[in-house]
Amino acid sequence: MRNIVLFGPPGAGKGTQSEFLVNHYGLVHLSTGDVFRFNIKNGTQLGKLAQSYMDQGKLVPDEVTISMLKAEVEKSPEAKGFIFDGFPRTTAQAEALDAFLSERDDSIEAMVALEVPEDELKSRLLARAETSGRADDADPDVIQNRINVYNAETAPVADFYRVAGKFKAVNGLGTIEEITERLVEAIDA
Ligand code: AMP
């Protein structure tokens, strides 16, 4: 299997780029944020729990997120691999993903990280709010909170993959096509 982690702060372009990468590599896109939003829309227990965290720009607890992710992976037994988008977001999630994949004789091939300056992230998220309908994109305080949580809890996850020799940084500024090209080059290198 080809399992790729697409990493980066909120607003870096992970969702947009995932669309191109799943087509290019024939992989399954697994966005934990999308799964949470689907559950919120459908009024499930998981959705109700997740919403209280998402509205504040906080992370949904690891235990909940990890078991949800495992269930999602198991829904696609025929997958040639996954693009993990928005997961792992903590070192505990990265460790759990590694353990889960190795039970299946599988592993993460690479983490590709989109690098975008903070000012650009904020303006992208506010612009996205116009069309995304996402409350967490529309409120500057929630955006700041998401960026702070990223810096404190998520950025260290890069080290987990760096130590394993799987980390690749990609410049996340430019046109969508330019960034896709850089990602493909990094993944294929
Ligand atoms: P995203 O769509 O990736 O921007 O995620 C939106 C929100 O969903 C985040 O701000 C978190 O509240 C929650 N979320 C998504 N993925 C995770 C994760 N891996 N761990 C914890 N919370 C998550």
CA 129 to chain CA centroid, nearest Å: 18
pLDDT value at position 22? 96
pLDDT value at position 52? 95
Name the DSSP letter for residue 111: E
Q: Which residues pair with 114 in a beta bridge?
A: 170
User: Which residues, other chains included, contact 125 with Cβ-Cβ below 8 Å and sequence gap of 6+?
Assistant: 10, 11, 137, 143
pLDDT value at position 3? 98
Long-range CB pairs of 155-159 (<8 Å, 24+ gap) are: 155/9, 156/91, 157/7, 157/88, 157/89, 157/90, 157/91, 157/93, 157/94, 158/7, 158/111, 158/113
> Is the preceding peptide bond at 61 cis, omega within 30 degrees of 0?
no
Instruction: Tell me the CA–centroid distance for residue 59 and ligand 1, in Å.
Output: 6
- Provide residues with CB under 6 Å of ligand 1: 10, 32-33, 36, 53-54, 57-60, 65, 86-87, 89, 93, 136, 146
Instruction: Tell me the CA–centroid distance for residue 176 and ligand 1, in Å.
Output: 22
pLDDT in tens, 164-188: 999 999 999 999 999 999 999 999 9
Mean pLDDT of 53-79: 97
134 is catalytic: yes
128 is catalytic: yes
| Residues 140 and 126 sit within 8 Å (Cβ to Cβ) | yes
Can you tell me the distance from the alpha carbon of 69 to that of 3, in angstroms, rounded to the nearest whole number?
14
- The residue from 58, 70, 128, 166 that is catalytic is 128
Name the DSSP letter for residue 58: P
Three-state DSSP at 171 gives strand
pLDDT value at position 166? 98
Domains of the chain are 2-188 (3.40.50.300)
Phi, psi of 107 (to 5 degrees): -160, 175
Mean pLDDT of the chain, nearest integer = 97
pLDDT value at position 72? 97
Q: Which residue has the CA at smallest separation from atom 19 of ligand 1?
A: 87
pLDDT in tens, 150-165: 999 999 999 999 999 9
pLDDT value at position 149? 98
Whether the pTM exceeds 0.85: the reply is: yes
- The residue from 89, 124, 168, 182 that is catalytic is 89
pLDDT band at 27 (very low <50, low <70, confident <90, very high): very high
pLDDT value at position 32? 98
The minimum-distance atom of ligand 1 relative to the CA of 33 is 2
pLDDT in tens, 74-114: 999 999 999 999 999 999 999 999 999 999 999 999 999 99
pLDDT value at position 77? 94
